[in-house]
C-alpha cells in the first residue's frame, strides 16, 4: 500500500515541503518496466496530509517538474488566495520555484489535493494525494483505510502513461478513460482484516473521468459522509455507490466474511464485477458485531433559505452528439466547427471557458443561491464548486446531503443550493478534466 506518513503529528500544525517531481514507480506487473509518473514526494498517490479539525496546514510546494504547477485543496473551505487555481487565484509556480500554502481546516472529513495547472495532464500523471481532517474525538472503529481510486491510460507496449493529453475524443466525449485501474497506485490492493472488525473506508475518486460503481462483498456497512461532509443519519448500504470524478464517500463497514475467506470492495464495470480492494480475513476481532454506528459529528454550516435564494441557471451544451451550433469564445462568436478547430467543445450559457469574462453570478456574502443546472449534453458531468459546499435539492424540495461535486447525467436537471459564505473568486467547473480544459469552466464571485 503506497501511503506516506503524515509529515508532523496531527495535534500540531502540519508543515513541511511537498516536492513535485518526476519519479518511476512499479505500477504494472514485473514483466513491464516501471512507469514514469509525476508525484508529490516521489509517489502516487502523493504524501498523505493529516490534521485535526481546526488545525492548520503550512506547506511549501517545491516544483521540480518540467511544467509550472499549483495545488488545489479540494473540498476545503479555504481562503481564496490559497485555493491554488492557476490563472484565477494565483500564478502557476514555475519550474525550480516554490509557493507557500497556509490555511486552516475548519471541517473534519475526507478531502484531497491535486494539481490545478493543466490538471487534465498533471492529475493524469499522478499529482494528487489525500488530505484527511480528523474529528476531535476518535470514532468507535478498529481502524481506517484511505482508498484512492484511479485509472491510467497506459501504452500497452511500454507500460508508460499515454502522452496524448489533447485527445479530441477525450475532450468531446466522456473524457480521458484509462485502461488500467487501481487503488493507492496498485492494481491488486489487498489488506488484512478480521471477522467482526469495524473499518472506516475513506474512498476518493481521483480519476480524470471514470465513474466508479462500487458494491460490498463480505462487508456490511453504512455511508456516513459524502464529499467530506457528515450525513445527518448513517445510510445502510443496500445498493451500489456511484462516485464521479473528485467525489468521496466515507463508509463504516463490518467484516462479515468468515476467517479464511475474503471480503471485497467490488467495482461494477459494464455489468461485470471486479475486485477493487481485497480484504484477506484471518481471525476474529470480536465474538459479535456492534450495532449501527452513530452519525459523525456535524460540521458547522449555514442553513440555506430557499424561499429567498437568488435563482441562477446554468445551461450546459456541446460535446459529441450535443447539437451546439455556436458559442462565445474569447469574446468572439464562433461556429461549432470553428470551436472544434480551437480545441473547444463545451459551453456554459453560450460561453466557452468563461473564467476571464463575466462570472456566472456575483452575490453578496451570506446570500443564499439556488442554481439550476441543465445538462443538455449526451454525457455525465461532475460539477465541482470551489470554496463552498452545496446541498443537492431533492425532487420534493428538501435539501439533500452537502456536497462539493455533483454528478449530473446527460439530459438531467439538478438544482443545488448554498449560502455564499466565503468571499472570493471561486471556480465552478466539470471535474471530467478534459471537459474543463475544453470549455466547461466558469466562476462564482462572492463579494
Question: Mind listing the pLDDT tens digit for each residue in 240-252?
Answer: 999 999 999 999 9
CA distance 435 to 431: 7
Question: Mind listing the pLDDT tens digit for each residue in 182-212?
Answer: 999 999 999 999 999 999 999 999 999 999 9
Percent of the chain with pLDDT over 70: 97
Give pLDDT, residue 356.
Answer: 87
Equal CATH topology for 145-284 and 306-446: yes
Q: Is the dihedral of CA 47, 247, 220, 107 positive or negative?
A: positive
Q: How confident is the model at residue 86 (pLDDT cuts 50, 70, 90)?
A: very high
306-446 is classed CATH 3.40.630.30: no
Q: If you average pLDDT over every residue of the chain, what do you get? A: 95
- Domain 14-135: CATH superfamily is Cupredoxins -  blue copper proteins (2.60.40.420)
Cβ–Cβ < 8 Å for 114, 128 = yes
Res 15 pLDDT > 90 = no
Domain edges within the chain: 14-135, 145-284, 306-446
Question: Mind listing the pLDDT tens digit for each residue in 354-375?
Answer: 788 899 999 999 999 999 999 9
Cβ–Cβ < 8 Å for 305, 397 = no
Residue 445 forms beta bridges with which residues? 362, 425
Structural class in CATH, domain 145-284: mainly beta
Res 3 pLDDT > 80 = no
Give pLDDT, residue 355.
Answer: 87
Percent of the chain with pLDDT over 90: 95
Looking up cell 516536492 gives: 19
Amino acid at each position: 500500500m503506497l501511503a506516506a506518513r503524515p509529515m508532523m503529528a496531527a495535534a500540531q500544525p502540519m508543515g513541511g515541503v511537498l516536492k513535485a517531481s518526476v519519479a518511476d514507480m512499479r505500477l504494472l506487473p514485473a514483466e513491464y518496466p516501471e512507469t514514469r509518473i509525476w508525484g508529490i514526494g516521489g509517489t502516487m498517490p502523493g504524501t498523505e496530509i493529516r490534521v485535526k479539525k481546526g488545525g492548520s496546514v503550512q506547506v511549501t510546494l517545491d516544483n521540480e517538474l518540467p511544467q509550472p504547477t499549483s495545488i488545489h485543496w479540494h473540498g476545503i473551505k479555504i481562503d481564496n488566495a490559497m485555493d491554488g487555481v492557476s490563472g484565477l487565484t494565483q500564478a502557476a509556480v514555475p519550474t525550480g520555484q516554490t509557493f507557500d500554502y497556509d490555511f486552516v481546516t475548519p471541517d473534519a472529513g475526507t478531502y484531497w489535493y491535486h494539481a490545478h495547472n493543466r490538471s487534465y495532464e498533471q492529475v493524469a500523471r499522478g499529482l494528487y494525494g489525500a488530505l484527511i481532517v480528523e474529528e476531535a474525538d476518535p470514532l468507535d472503529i478498529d481502524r481506517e483505510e484511505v482508498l484512492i481510486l484511479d485509472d491510467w491510460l497506459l501504452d500497452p507496449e511500454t507500460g508508460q502513461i499515454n502522452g496524448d493529453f489533447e485527445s479530441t475524443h477525450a475532450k468531446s466525449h466522456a473524457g480521458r478513460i484509462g485502461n488500467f485501474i487501481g487503488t493507492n497506485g496498485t492494481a491488486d490492493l489487498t489488506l488484512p482484516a478480521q471477522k467482526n472488525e469495524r473499518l472506516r473506508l475513506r474512498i476518493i475518486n481521483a480519476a480524470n473521468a471514470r465513474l466508479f460503481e462500487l458494491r460490498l462483498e463480505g462487508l456490511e456497512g453504512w455511508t456516513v459522509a459524502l464529499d467530506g461532509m457528515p450525513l445527518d443519519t448513517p445510510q445502510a448500504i443496500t445498493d451500489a455507490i456511484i462516485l464521479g470524478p473528485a467525489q468521496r464517500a466515507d463508509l463504516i463497514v463490518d467484516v462479515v466474511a468468515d476467517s479464511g475467506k475474503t471480503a471485497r470492495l467490488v467495482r461494477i464495470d459494464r455489468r461485470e464485477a471486479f475486485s477493487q480492494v481485497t480484504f484477506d480475513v484471518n481471525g476474529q476481532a470480536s465474538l459479535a458485531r456492534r450495532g449501527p454506528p452513530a452519525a459523525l459529528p456535524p460540521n458547522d454550516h449555514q442553513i440555506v433559505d430557499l424561499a429567498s435564494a437568488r435563482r441562477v441557471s446554468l445551461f450546459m451544451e456541446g460535446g459529441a452528439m450535443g447539437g451546439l451550433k455556436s458559442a462565445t469564445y474569447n469574446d468572439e462568436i464562433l461556429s461549432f466547427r470553428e470551436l472544434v478547430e480551437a480545441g473547444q467543445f463545451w459551453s456554459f450559457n453560450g460561453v466557452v471557458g468563461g473564467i476571464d469574462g463575466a462570472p456566472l453570478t456575483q452575490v453578496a456574502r451570506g446570500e443564499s443561491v439556488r442554481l439550476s443546472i441543465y445538462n443538455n449534453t449526451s454525457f455525465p458531468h461532475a460539477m465541482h464548486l470551489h470554496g463552498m459546499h452545496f446541498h443537492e435539492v431533492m425532487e420534493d424540495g428538501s435539501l439533500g446531503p452537502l456536497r462539493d461535486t455533483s454528478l449530473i447525467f446527460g439530459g438531467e436537471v439538478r438544482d443545488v443550493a448554498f449560502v455564499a459564505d466565503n468571499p472570493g473568486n471561486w471556480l465552478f467547473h466539470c471535474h471530467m478534466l478534459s471537459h474543463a480544459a475544453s470549455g466547461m469552466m466558469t466562476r462564482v464571485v462572492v463579494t
